[in-house]
Structure 1
């Protein structure tokens, strides 16, 4: 990714989202406001929490780090202040979904042991979540407002060219060898015998819950095949209408709180569902998922099927795009992008060769551009066994950035720079019209002095 310096006022808007500190039960008993931005305030404790969290991650943080933290918090509060003026909204379910994701990451650090989390932080998971809620809402509001401010910013080819030409040749970034790949992900069909076994297992678990009064959560932890919710007793958190696949959604919205559904079959397997609570179009439910087993015979049939599809493509009877639409698993992230695989680190479709999954590397290592691998087995994130074909879309050698060869990357960097410049201008202009006060404790910070000087310049 291209990186270019910007002025000290072109700020990082996505703050480090600090978890509560070890042993912290509440905010400081003695606290004070260290900055006011319009109707929004920044507390000293917020700055100290960010600094302490950063120090936990890296003991060598700079002496001016508190100044930088306050700078970022001021920018965030300015965006939140403007969002409220412009009636930019963040829905409750968006906040809850983000909180659930944060909590799930926290749980993963502690091997899903909530008691260990409570011992370490001195708070229950529910208390931690409550403490994070307002900060999360502010973060989402700031992000949403930033998007609103810059959403109409576009860039022309001439601007991209000018952006590239102003970079000194010896400062051009060096790109390692990269490839672009496409994939056709094929889900082996479940045979009738394994499907019947899975349904029977789900029926048995439902009877144990409904007839014998066994704990839904305990059975989910022990038997559910959903890795994302099993450790939480099948808890799916608060979800809005439209989140679930149709069969699951139709069932969960028919339930009363505490009620357990009949067996529900979806493309993922068989579900036992319990509604915990409902608020309008929001539902809080838990489930147990039982997946039919994919046998070695099923996998062999899948490989043979894909080999036939590969032959059709190579003979020109079918394009790769059409094959993805006809045979690809619609739940694969690449399915709706013509099979193009996105790099989760960069967001684009380029992968450095060294970052490729080992199986992918060996599948394409000897392919020419446009070549298609033989059917390759792999596992989805949930552990399910699939097969796929991989097409080598492009391959580049190590090189310095080149406008023609790397246009998409340079265009993206130029657009981000243009947005950053526009955002800087917007913030300076907005702060001149917004009450800004900074506590004397921080007035010796050069970056904050610069902000005050810029916003008071007429």
Structure 2
């Protein structure tokens, strides 16, 4: 059963982000090479993933072992999918389509917004890619939901954490480098009221010019819109599904009639006017013009000074740091909803090895004592927008071998994952004994296939598949 822990960890590698990474490949005439319950496994699924790994991780690929590992992962996912369907786990096609839209959009953006480059790389139109990925993504989501359902509410108790820690040989305990926990309070400078009113008046005048016929929507969008991407297209946003836009924009655009131009509205991005071109149910085709009020040097200095005064209040114990975050911090910062505590995206917890910190953050906190507050630091994001931060150093550890006193939270996470793996392994064993499993004989040499077949209530070493397809490989 040990290898099931590996399956659990790698179960969902067959996500859209990977399957979309295959690009153009030699056409493979397909055949069924396995069955788990009512779910079939195709030769093309294994070969596509194999070629992806071969292209991206050539040093780690073995022509037989890698294919065997891929097959086992697909079998595990199909076992989850099969049970999800039996248990009526719900994943709507609307949810699937929204996720595909978002993922395809992200890939297109990574290609500089060049749709023709996307279609040339994948050898399909965008619509064909979306259609091709609907069922695989739905199966992935079903498997995720089923796995979450199996391990829901599994948590290691304090006594289980201690037992787990004591079961690890001392020479096997991990060695942790120096780590810190930090909290941040983030403020974004805003344009002053006079600038905001000038921007609102300007976009109102643009709307009047469009309605009176003095100028076209497209001309103003191309010349003046601060949304450069849509501006190049005359403000056109293309077909979008409900849920794509921020709340204020969406509430407005879905209440327009085709051809109607909205009054100016304000979102976090600035002031917009929107024209609805066409609507089909929950999908709309619209265009907009965006004007963003300019933040002046004086506005930035006011924000810096305000944050510095908040820092003084915290240092004088007039207000706790987490309360200051809730009152004065920007809710656009991820840390806002965590009392200012910064989460390490690599690990999912709040600990950072010192070397993992961004240079500006490192130099801001490196000389602080635990509980001290940094000076105000200015940051510039990728879009060129500036923001100001202060940091609190919550904790700092020296390099050390794992122990319960310093690393209880981490050990608790490891113990919980171990407990979840045990629960999931037990579930897998029970499902295997109740599930029909069938694998083509050419994969019977895979190390763990005998186990899968031996645990299944019904299996067949078939040479003739349920509906064989001659692929010209001679493997039928």
Same fold at TM > 0.5: yes
5 Å-filtered alignment, 1:40-189, equals 40-60=39-59, 61-63=61-63, 64-189=65-190
Measured after TM superposition, the shift of residue 350 of structure 1 is 0.9
Tell me the distance in 2 between the aligned counterparts of 1:184 and 1:156. Answer: 33
Larger radius of gyration: 2
5 Å-filtered alignment, 1:304-343, equals 304-343=305-344
Q: Secondary structure at the match of 1:404?
A: helix
Q: 1:206 to 1:138 in 2, by over 3 A?
A: farther
Q: Secondary structure at the match of 2:405?
A: coil
8 Å Cα contact 2:239/2:283 also seen in 1: no
Tell me the distance in 2 between the aligned counterparts of 1:143 and 1:383. Answer: 37
Measured after TM superposition, the shift of residue 456 of structure 1 is 5.2
8 Å Cα contact 1:12/1:72 also seen in 2: yes
Tell me the distance in 1 between the aligned counterparts of 2:432 and 2:276. Answer: 47
Tell me the distance in 2 between the aligned counterparts of 1:374 and 1:188. Answer: 17
Q: Secondary structure at the match of 1:182?
A: strand
Tell me the distance in 1 between the aligned counterparts of 2:144 and 2:299. Answer: 46
5 Å-filtered alignment, 1:261-340, equals 261-275=262-276, 287-340=288-341
Unaligned runs of 5+ in 2: 459-476
Q: Secondary structure at the match of 1:342?
A: coil
1:247 aligns with 2:248: yes
Q: Secondary structure at the match of 2:394?
A: strand
Q: 1:208 to 1:364 in 2, by over 3 A?
A: farther
Measured after TM superposition, the shift of residue 201 of structure 1 is 5.6
Tell me the distance in 1 between the aligned counterparts of 2:230 and 2:398. Answer: 39
Residue number in structure 2 paired with 1:362: 363
8 Å Cα contact 1:221/1:233 also seen in 2: no
Tell me the distance in 2 between the aligned counterparts of 1:163 and 1:285. Answer: 57
Q: 1:334 to 1:431 in 2, by over 3 A?
A: same
Residue number in structure 2 paired with 1:346: 347
8 Å Cα contact 2:7/2:76 also seen in 1: no
Measured after TM superposition, the shift of residue 73 of structure 1 is 0.9
Q: How many residues matched?
A: 449
Q: Secondary structure at the match of 1:405?
A: helix
More divergent stretch after superposition (286-295 vs 418-427): 286-295
Measured after TM superposition, the shift of residue 119 of structure 1 is 2.1
8 Å Cα contact 1:110/1:117 also seen in 2: yes
Residue number in structure 1 paired with 2:408: 407
Tell me the distance in 2 between the aligned counterparts of 1:446 and 1:368. Answer: 54
What is the RMSD computed on CA atoms of the aligned residues? 3.1
Q: Secondary structure at the match of 2:392?
A: strand
Give a deviation string over 1:355-409, Cα, whole Å, max 9, x none: 1111111111111111111211113465421112111111111122112211111
Q: 1:399 to 1:5 in 2, by over 3 A?
A: farther
Q: Secondary structure at the match of 2:185?
A: strand
Q: 1:39 to 1:195 in 2, by over 3 A?
A: same
Give a deviation string over 1:387-437, Cα, whole Å, max 9, x none: 121111111111221122111111111111111121111112112111111
Q: Secondary structure at the match of 2:41?
A: strand
Unaligned runs of 5+ in 1: none
Measured after TM superposition, the shift of residue 11 of structure 1 is 5.3
Residue number in structure 2 paired with 1:238: 241
8 Å Cα contact 1:259/1:274 also seen in 2: yes
Q: Secondary structure at the match of 1:446?
A: coil
More divergent stretch after superposition (401-410 vs 447-456): 447-456
TM-score normalised to structure 1 length: 0.88
Match of 1:12 among 10, 16, 28: 10
Q: 1:9 to 1:135 in 2, by over 3 A?
A: closer
Residue number in structure 1 paired with 2:37: 38
More divergent stretch after superposition (445-454 vs 202-211): 202-211
More divergent stretch after superposition (219-228 vs 423-432): 219-228
Tell me the distance in 2 between the aligned counterparts of 1:142 and 1:382. Answer: 37
TM-score normalised to structure 2 length: 0.85
Measured after TM superposition, the shift of residue 125 of structure 1 is 2.5
Residue number in structure 1 paired with 2:467: none
Tell me the distance in 1 between the aligned counterparts of 2:3 and 2:167. Answer: 13
Q: 1:207 to 1:450 in 2, by over 3 A?
A: farther
5 Å-filtered alignment, 1:183-262, equals 183-199=184-200, 202-203=203-204, 211=213, 212-213=215-216, 215=218, 219=221, 223-225=225-227, 234=237, 237-240=240-243, 245-256=246-257, 259-262=260-263
Measured after TM superposition, the shift of residue 248 of structure 1 is 2.4
Tell me the distance in 2 between the aligned counterparts of 1:11 and 1:349. Answer: 22
